[in-house]
Each structure stands twice: as C-alpha cells, then as structure tokens.
Amino acid sequence: MPKIKMKSHKASRSRIRLTAKGKLLRTQINVRHLLTHRSPKRLRKLHKKTVTTTNGYVRRARIAFLDGVAGRPNPGPGQTRADQNAAKAAWIAKAKADEAQAIADHAKMLVANAKLKAEKATEKATEKAIEKAKAKADKAAAKAGAEAGNADAKVENAKPKVTKAEKAEKAQKAEKAKSKGDKPKADKG
C-alpha cells in the first residue's frame, strides 16, 4: 500500500471551494492523479471534511478555508483567542466603515446627478424659450414683409393708369416726330 501523505493546510484549502450560497465543495479526489489506486476505505476517509492541525487545536475545513480568504485576519502561530477576536473585531469594524463610506459616496453621487439633471433641464428650457422667441420674431418679420409687399402693390395700383386715348396720342406724336426727322423724346414715366 502506498505511503499516505498528510495534506498541509495550503493543500487542503486548494481542494475545497466555498460556493456563493455558503456550501462547501470538495474536488472529486478519487479521480485525481495517484489517488485512483487507493482502497475504498481510504477514499471514504479522504472524502470526509478535511481537518488540519495548527498549534495544537483542530479546525474544520470551513474555518481553514475562510481564514485563508484575502482580507480576513489569518491568525499566526502563538496568537491567543483574545488576539484572534480582537483582529476579527477590527476587521469587522473596518468592513462596516468601508460600507458606510460606500453608501455615503453613493448618496453624494445621486445628489450630484440630480443637480446635473436639473441644470440640463434649465438649459433645455432656456434654449426652448430662445427658439420660441426666434420663431415669433421670424413670424413677425415675415408678416411685416408681407404687409410691406402688399403696401408696395397698393402704391403701384394707386399710380394713375394710362388710358387708351393717351397711348394713342403719344403714338401720333412719335410718328410726327419721325416724319419730321426729330428723335422722339424718351418718356421718363
């Protein structure tokens, strides 16, 4: 029978995974390299929760795994229970402070976004008011131009009209001038 190697703390942590729901998963140890020839009894023992011995007391795999997660205090050799509790309390206090700071930062961001939206809304309202004023001015100018055009037409219509008799007289004068050899004078009317 092969010699059984005791797994170190690090190795046991590498064989265990904590799910999002808090369940502890282990790798299927009987299909890994060099473990396929072990007896069923040995495999059953290996499938049990891994325990590691550190400083004279046994901790279950969950504790070993969670202690190794980044950010959590990992008690070193020679630490007392009071030291561990103090480190844990400090870690929890820091986590709560960080959470409070994140909530405050989020609230500040929401206030800043609200101010920005209000400024944009006032800018849009101002732009709309300016556009309305321009449209009114353009409309008034177009109306004034139309009225001016109508006034010009009225002035032209108010000019005295040349009757057929007057045209005939002018034509006769022009013929007389041609027959005499004089150049007809151009009308300025």
Q: Is the CB of residue 16 less than 8 Å from the CB of residue 59? A: no
Rounded-to-integer distance, Cα 76 and Cα 54, Å: 9
The reply to whether 62 falls in a domain is yes
Specify the number of domains making up the chain.
Answer: 1
Averaging pLDDT over each range in 20-29, 117-126, 160-169, 179-188, which range is the top one? 117-126
pLDDT band at residue 167 under the 50/70/90 scheme: confident
Residues ≥6 apart with Cβ < 8 Å to 21: none
pLDDT band at residue 64 under the 50/70/90 scheme: low
pLDDT band at residue 88 under the 50/70/90 scheme: confident
Domain with 40, as residue range(s), is 9-69
Averaging pLDDT over each range in 15-24, 54-63, 108-117, which range is the top one? 108-117
The reply to whether 164 falls in a domain is no
pLDDT band at residue 96 under the 50/70/90 scheme: confident
The reply to whether 21 falls in a domain is yes
The reply to whether 61 falls in a domain is yes
The reply to whether 174 falls in a domain is no
Helix/strand/coil (H, E, C) string of 25-74? EECCHHHCCCCCCCCHHHHHHHHCCCEEEECCEEEEHHHHHHHHCCCCCC
> What per-residue confidence (pLDDT) applies to 85?
82
> What per-residue confidence (pLDDT) applies to 11?
63
The reply to whether 133 falls in a domain is no
The answer on pLDDT for 66 being more than 50 is yes
Instruction: With 0.75 as the threshold, say if the pTM is over it.
Output: no
Rounded-to-integer distance, Cα 176 and Cα 174, Å: 5
| Nearest alpha carbon to residue 166 among 154, 158, 174 | 174
The reply to whether 84 falls in a domain is no
The answer on pLDDT for 59 being more than 70 is no
CB 64: neighbour CB atoms within 10 A?
21
| Nearest alpha carbon to residue 37 among 2, 5, 12, 3 | 2
Question: What is the rounded average pLDDT of the residues 161-166?
Answer: 74
The reply to whether 76 falls in a domain is no
| Nearest alpha carbon to residue 50 among 21, 2, 74, 16 | 16
